Structures are given as C-alpha cells and as structure tokens.
C-alpha cells in the first residue's frame, strides 16, 4: 500500500515538474486517467467474481404444504421424492439411490416456488434460492464461480444451523441451462451449465450435509438434455393450472383473513375462473377486498368478486367515453356474442358488459359447466360460432361491420387451424409440416364458412332478443348471465 502511494506521489510530482518547465502534460494526464479506469474495472471484476447474489440467503422456510391449494398431485409426488432426505438410513438399507435434483415445470403463477419452499419446511432443510439469470455475466468464468459458491454456502449455512440437509432452488433455470452450442458469441453459458453438472455429479450421500437441487421452469424444452438425465434431475414434477376443485381450495386459502358476506359462493367463483392460475386467484381475492374497501363495506360480497374477476382479466375501467352511436354498436356486438353463446352452450354466459377495460370496449365472460381437457369437433365449431357472432350481429342488424371484431376473427382462425392440425377437418389426419400453406388456408376457410352460415341463421332468428339486450346494456352497462338467459328463453 505504501509503495503504491509513493508511486502515485512521484507521478504527480513529475507531472507538476514537467508542467512548470513548459512541457504539454495533458496527453500524460489523459493516459493516466484511462489506465486508472481500466485498473478499477478489472479490480471490481475480481472482487465480484466470487460473489453469489442470492435472492434469499440461507433460511428456514415457513411455508408448508398445507399453505398450497389446488396442487394435490404435485404435492404428493414431491413428498414421495423427499423421503430420501427424511429417511436416509432406510434408503441406504434398501440400496436406493437418493435423488439429486427435482425439476418443477408448468405455467407461470402455479406455485412452483411455493412448492420448493414447502419442501424445505417438510424436510427441515436450509432453503437457498437464486435465479438462473444471476449466473450469466459478460465476464467469462463468473457464472461457474457463482455456482461453486452457491453450493459451498448451502453446506456452510446448514452446518451453522446444525442441520443435515439443504435445498438449493434455482428459478428460471432455462436461462443458465439452455442447450449447449447455441451461444456463438462466448461460452459463458456453457461453462456455467458445465459447472452445475459437475457439482451435481459430485454430490455424495456420505457428506454431512445432503443437498437437493430443485429448479423451476415454464420452458422445459429449452433445457440441455444432459441436465435431465437420471442421476441429475431425476424427477420432473408437472405443476399445472388448477382444476375447479383446486381453484376453490386456493380461494379458501386466500380468503382466510378476509371477512366474507353471507352470499359469497366460492364454488361459483371457482367455476367462473376457468384457466386462472394460483397467482390470478390470489389477485382476484385481493382486488375484491380493495373494492370492498373503496365502498367502505363491512365484508367482501359476491359482487365484489365478480367485479374483481373482470378487472384481473381485462384491467381497470377506462375513462374513455364513446358517443351513443359507437356505444350502441358495441352493445349489439357483445349482444351477438352473448345470445349465440347461450344458444350453443346453454348456461355458459356469466356476465356481459360494455364498459371499456384495457384494450376491450366490451366483454362477455364465459363460465363453462366444467373444465374441459378435450374438445370434440362440435364443441370447437361452437367456439368458432361464438367468435363470429359479434361481427355478424353488426352486419345483419346495423348494416355493416367494424374493426372491433379483429381479435374475434383471429381467435376463430386459430381454432379452425387447430382442428386441421388435429385431424378434425375434411383433410383427415395430416402432418403440419407436410401440409402446404394453400391447402391449410382453403381448409380453414371452409370450416369458418360453414360456421358463418349457421351463425347468420342464429342471429337472424334472435334479432329481437339482441336488440332488447343492447337496449338494456345502454341503460345498465353491465348485466348478469341470468338476464341474457331470460331473453333467449
């Protein structure tokens, strides 16, 4: 340190001496500044090289499996896989090779991180979490060093807490564990993945701290196959969107601390939230409570929940004001969707509104009788008919269509295209890659043309009901599905 200070002092004295004697010292000053910047950058790089920026420092998780609803299959499979952590002696006696890694896959918001935290609580393990993006830097070797440091930290923290196991959770693992050879600019991604493979191969059952690596992703197809082979990530647990019973269980969990009015039916709310993840349902409960607070209500009512569903789906109401002619067109459009929806799928309409939200000027919310994992040809054609009904109502009742149906047409086209690729069209069983664009276009057009003829007939026969529904929407803005069913009857 003293030598460096002496060198700096001598350099400054030299510059002053040269300046006094008439020498132009500015080039030397600029050169010294440039050298200083390069030195400081390199020093900072060396200091940060071994740092592992963790989302959570090693902690004991307080989340239990009882705090997670709607994922019974995933929980049971995960609890079975965790037996080796709880019963190491029995595993050794039976010659069972313990699992080293568990991969949680599924859509966003389904509870993958919560399951990992619950696993740490269930096994009384130290929980350390990181994100895949934290291991990838512009400097070569940083990611691999951080992987090594993460495993070292997990063992050290577990020993400090007198625990025999630790769980390392890596979220968005596809960022650091993508297929090797895809990144041509540098090999930092590959080096990071190679180091993770080495660490998992080096994990031994004889260590005083047993480590289980858990990871989460919604793009398992991007992960390098070497990471998914037995001996590394031995188990892949699918965490899907919850079904109707699962959604009701999640709603019960998120309403435990909220006062509910007598008329709240969580089963009906679960029915109307088909396709919602656990994160969506938590947001619905929170938004319903916020609406109750705005109205200074003593408890959260069923209407608050219905309004919260619309808000989570579409966003907050907009201050956009349409003139009466445009508003009536929107009412006719949404009335067409609702009436045809009730005709082809009785009891499916939950509510209809012409209040602008997000990018939508109006919206018909569907509530199917039950979750559908498979759809028949007739069910798909009904969905296409509902998509086409709004623009058809405009054309037949108002004389011309508008641009408001662009999204409906896109949905109808996607459904028809799915029918073709699933072998449900006049082409029969086909392979998408062997199907020419012309043949695909003609077949999709044929499906939509047949549905359009049926929709024209339905709209013509229900013209009076659609106009009456549009008048009611102009007065009330939002109507429940029961009112639509009365008009159809």
**Domain coverage including residue 44:** 2-49
Which of residues 314, 348, 367 is at a domain's end?
Answer: 314
- Tell me if 16 is assigned to some domain: yes
The answer to whether residues 110 and 164 belong to one domain is yes
Domain boundary among 238, 260, 278: 238
In a domain, 273, yes or no: yes
Instruction: Give 126-176 pLDDT, tens digit per residue.
Output: 898 888 877 776 555 677 888 888 888 888 888 888 888 889 999 989 888
**Cα 442 to Cα 318, 415, 417, 426, 427, distances in angstroms:** 40, 15, 11, 11, 11
Same domain, 225 and 301: no
Q: Is 334 a catalytic residue?
A: yes
What's the mean pLDDT in 281-287? 94
**Highest-scoring range by mean pLDDT, 6-15, 192-201, 407-416:** 407-416
Q: What's the length of the chain?
A: 489
Residues 106 and 215 occupy one common structural domain? yes
- Same domain flag for 421 and 470: yes
Domain check: are 113 and 132 in the same one? Answer: yes
Which alpha helices (H) appear in 217-323, and where do they start and end? 225-228, 244-254, 266-271, 278-294, 302-314
Please check whether residue 123 lies inside any domain of the structure: yes
How many domains is the chain built from?
4
Residue pair 322/360 in contact (Cβ under 8 Å)? The answer is no
- Which of 36-40, 64-68, 368-372, 470-474 shows the highest mean pLDDT? 470-474
Query: Under the phi-then-psi rule, with left for phi > 0, alpha for psi from -120 to 50, and beta for the rest, what region is 188?
Result: alpha
CATH code of the domain in which 295 resides = 1.10.8.60
Of the candidates 334, 394, 433, 453, the residue annotated as catalytic is 334
Do residue 178 and residue 92 come from a single domain?
A: yes
460, pLDDT greater than 70: yes
Q: Is the pLDDT of residue 469 over 90?
A: yes
The stretch 469-486 carries a mean pLDDT of 90
> Could you tell me if residue 296 is inside a domain?
yes
96 contact partners, CB below 8 Å, separation of at least 6: 84
pLDDT of residue 468: 94
Q: Report CA Rg, the chain.
A: 31
- The answer to whether residue 319 is domain-embedded is no
Task: Find the distance separating the first CA and the last CA of the chain, reported in whole Å.
Answer: 91
3-state SS assignment for residue 131? strand
Assess whether 43 and 65 both reside in one domain. no
Q: Give the model's confidence band at 61: pLDDT under 50 very low, under 70 low, under 90 confident, else very high.
A: confident
Question: What pLDDT shows up at residue 438?
Answer: 92
Quickly state the pLDDT bin for 416 (edges 50, 70, 90).
very high
pLDDT at position 427 over 50: yes
Q: Do 333 and 435 share a structural domain?
A: yes
Per-residue confidence (pLDDT) for residue 45, from 0 to 100: 45
**Is the domain of 203 the same as that of 67?**
yes
The pLDDT-based confidence of 410 (bands split at 50, 70, 90) is very high
73 and 167 belong to one structural domain: yes
Look at residue 98 and tell me if it is in a domain: yes
Half-sphere exposure at residue 72, Cβ-oriented, CA atoms within 13 angstroms? 7
| CATH number for the domain harbouring residue 418 | 1.20.58.760
Please tell me the predicted confidence (pLDDT) of residue 360.
Answer: 79
Query: pLDDT tens across 181-215, in order?
Result: 665 555 666 778 888 888 887 766 567 788 889 99
Phi, psi angles (nearest 5°) of residue 213: -95, 125
Examine the fold and report which residue of 208, 238, 268 is the final residue of a domain before the chain moves on: 238
**Any idea what the CATH number is for the domain that residue 231 is in?**
3.40.50.300
Residue 421 and residue 345 in one domain: yes
Checking if the pLDDT of 49 tops 50, the result is no
> 102 has which bridge partners?
214, 235
Q: Say whether both 137 and 216 belong to one domain.
A: yes
Statement: residue 50 has pLDDT above 80: no
Other beta carbons within 10 angstroms of residue 210's beta carbon come to: 23
The answer as to whether 266 is a domain residue is: yes
Question: What tens digit of pLDDT does each residue of 74-95 get?
Answer: 898 888 888 877 887 787 788 8
Asked if 299 and 292 touch (Cβ cutoff 8 Å), the reply is: yes
Contact 189, 136 (CB under 8 A): yes
Helix (H) or strand (E) holding 207: none
Q: Which of 379, 377, 409, 413 is nearest to 392 (CA)?
A: 409
Q: Write the DSSP string, 290-315.
A: HHHHHTT-SSB-HHHHHHHHHHHHH-
Q: Is the pLDDT at 225 greater than 80, yes or no?
A: yes
* Distance of alpha carbon 22 from alpha carbon 332, whole angstroms: 87
């Amino acid at each position: 340190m003293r030598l460096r200070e002496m060198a700096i002092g001598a350099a400054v004295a030299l510059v002053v001496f040269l300046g006094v004697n008439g020498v132009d010292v500015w080039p030397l000053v600029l050169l010294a500044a440039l050298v200083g910047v390069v030195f400081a950058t390199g020093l900072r790089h060396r200091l940060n090289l071994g740092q592992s920026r963790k989302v959570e420092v090693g902690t004991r998780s307080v989340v239990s499996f009882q705090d997670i609803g709607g994922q019974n299959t995933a929980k049971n499979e995960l609890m079975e896989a965790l037996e080796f952590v709880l019963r190491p002696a029995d595993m050794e006696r039976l010659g069972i090779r313990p699992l080293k890694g568990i991969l949680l896959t599924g859509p966003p918001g389904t509870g993958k991180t919560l399951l990992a935290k619950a696993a740490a609580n269930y096994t009384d393990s130290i929980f350390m979490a990181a994100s895949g993006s934290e291991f990838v830097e512009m400097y070569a070797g940083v990611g691999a060093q951080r992987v090594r440091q993460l495993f070292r930290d997990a063992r050290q923290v577990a020993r400090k807490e007198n625990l025999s196991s630790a769980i390392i959770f890596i979220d968005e693992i596809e960022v650091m564990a993508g297929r090797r050879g895809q990144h041509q600019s540098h090999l930092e991604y590959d080096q990071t993945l190679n180091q993770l493979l080495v660490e998992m191969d080096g994990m031994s059952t004889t260590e005083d701290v047993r480590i289980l690596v858990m990871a989460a992703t919604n793009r398992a197809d991007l992960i390098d196959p070497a990471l998914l082979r037995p001996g590394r990530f031995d188990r892949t647990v699918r965490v899907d969107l919850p079904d109707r019973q699962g959604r009701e269980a999640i709603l019960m969990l998120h309403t435990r601390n909220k006062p509910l009015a007598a008329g709240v039916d969580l089963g009906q709310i679960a029915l109307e939230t088909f396709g919602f993840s656990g994160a969506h349902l938590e947001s619905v409960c929170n938004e319903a409570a916020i609406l109750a607070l705005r109205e200074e209500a003593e408890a959260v009512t069923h209407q608050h929940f219905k309004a919260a569903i619309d808000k989570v789906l579409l966003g907050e109401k907009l201050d956009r004001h349409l003139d009466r002619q445009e508003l009536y067109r929107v009412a006719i459009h949404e009335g067409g969707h609702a009436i045809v929806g009730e005709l082809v799928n009785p009891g499916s309409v939950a509510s209809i509104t012409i209040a602008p939200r997000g990018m939508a000027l109006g919206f018909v919310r569907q509530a199917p009788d039950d979750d559908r994992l498979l759809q028949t040809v007739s069910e798909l054609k009904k969905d296409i008919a509902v998509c086409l009904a709004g623009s058809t109502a405009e054309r037949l009742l108002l004389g011309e269509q508008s641009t408001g149906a662009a999204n409906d047409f896109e949905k109808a086209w996607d459904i028809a295209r799915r029918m073709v690729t699933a072998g449900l069209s006049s082409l029969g069983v086909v392979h998408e890659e062997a199907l020419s664009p012309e043949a695909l276009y003609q077949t999709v057009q044929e499906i939509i043309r047949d549905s359009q003829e049926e929709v024209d007939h339905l709209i013509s026969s229900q013209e009076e009901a659609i106009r009456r529904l549009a008048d009611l929407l102009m007065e009330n803005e939002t109507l429940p599905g029961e009112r639509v069913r009365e008009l159809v009857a």
